[in-house]
Amino acid sequence: MRKSKIAGVGRYLPERVVTNDDLAKLMDTSDEWIRERTGIQERRFFELGKDTTSNMGTRAAKMALENAGLTPQDVDFIVFATLSPDYDFPGSGVLVQRELELPTIGAIDIRTQCTGFVYGLSVADQFIKTGMYDTILIIGSEIHSSGLDMTTRGRAVSVLFGDGAGAVVLQASDNDHGILSTHLHSEGEYAEELAVIDPGSSRAIPRTQARMIEEGTIFPVMNGNHVFKHASTRFPEVIQEALKLNNYQPSDIDLLIPHQANLRISQMVQRLLSLKEDQVFNNIQRYGNTTAASIPIAMSEAWEQGKIKEGDLICLAAFGSGFTWGSALIRW
Ligand code: UT7
């Protein structure tokens, strides 16, 4: 059966580094609290007038195409995962189509937040498996910093997130290497446990009101403990689901690239699956949680550092708002 392989990986991180001490000037928090609870030391924030969600994604995509030895003209379809699109509508995928000056190929946005990249990869994999497309760009890109409550009221959420973009080129594979399987889940019962409620289409007429800014309902809310508990269960579960289907054990994984939600969650997953430290890739220390961008950014760095080699068994896994969770097992 036709498979899809990752032919190139890329990333773009805005230049501005924001440390925990920088955040402590804006809200009642500390470097010690953030490091201890999350592992995060610094993150990147976008530069107004230079970076947008779509142009950061485009830069990451160009790097991925270059790595793959391809040009934008080779792309058949665009999948763009983000919770922070340039506009409410249209989505950011069409802006990439414009920026790359591509012919009128299709472009979709994926809205599953932290699992956006895994969902996007799965969607692209199906298009390639069916023979509809040969080469697909999958981009995850986020600008969180302008949408966070940077006061003490929002500190439990705001210290976690950063801006950035990552991308991969997925191509039809002529051998057994490529995506072995993807596994997607959701549990809408917990939709409001990690969400931005306003301005939403079911809340008020008109949809945007000044009180939403005053009351802070335009900012993300999160039941941190609840999310942590579910994440620690769902990550190992969905990784095991992928391994079991393909007759592998956790010890067979060469590199697990988890969505970078919290270093403590990654360490717990590592412990629960009895993985060695060098089997799990983490870079949340430098970028915070970049939601849909975290896995492709991590994949791009791991590849550059020689931690992903031809023939390796790579596992991707994510959990987040929705709740949604998912995994992908890849023979590189
Ligand atoms: O990718 C999307 C998925 N998101 C996640 O996976 C996040 C999952 N959850 C978490 O990572 C953790 O729950 C957090 C890092 C968000 C919070 O850590 P925690 O150990 O669960 O802390 P907590 O929420 O129980 O809060 C402990 C204390 C509270 O003070 P009191 O009530 O004990 O006096 C908070 O008010 O820490 C306080 N606190 C802070 N203190 C300093 C909360 N945020 C901060 C802060 N700085 N930024």
Residue 158 Cα: closest atom of ligand 1: 48
Same-domain check for residues 234 and 157: no
Domain limits for position 30 = 3-175
Q: Which of 151, 175, 199 is the last residue of a domain?
A: 175
- pLDDT of 1 reads 81
- pLDDT of 203 reads 83
Same-domain check for residues 30 and 69: yes
Give start and end residues of each alpha helix (H) in the chain. Answer: 20-24, 31-38, 53-68, 93-99, 116-129, 155-158, 210-215, 224-245, 263-272, 284-287, 294-304
* pLDDT confidence tier of residue 204, bands split at 50, 70 and 90: confident
Sign of CA dihedral 275, 138, 296, 109: negative
Q: Which of 175, 195, 222 is the last residue of a domain?
A: 175
- Is the pTM higher than 0.75? The answer reads yes
Q: Which of 143, 175, 207 is the last residue of a domain?
A: 175
Same-domain check for residues 230 and 148: no
Same-domain check for residues 149 and 41: yes
Same-domain check for residues 270 and 152: no
In this predicted structure, the answer to whether residue 304 has a pLDDT above a threshold of 90 is yes
Same-domain check for residues 11 and 146: yes
Same-domain check for residues 222 and 265: yes
Same-domain check for residues 222 and 138: no
User: Structure tokens of 23?
Assistant: 């955040």
Distance CA(51)–CA(118), nearest Å, equals 24
Same-domain check for residues 246 and 169: no
21: Cβ contacts below 8 Å, ≥ 6 apart = 31
Does the active-site annotation cover 114?
yes
Residue 121 Cβ < 6 Å to ligand 1? no
Same-domain check for residues 204 and 105: no
The C-alpha angle 135, 318, 297, rounded to 5 degrees, equals 55
Give the chain's domain count.
2
Strand 106-110 to 135-142 pairing? unpaired
Catalytic residue among 20, 67, 114, 144: 114
- CA 64 vs CA 42, 83, 169, 203, 249: distances in Å: 25, 21, 6, 40, 30
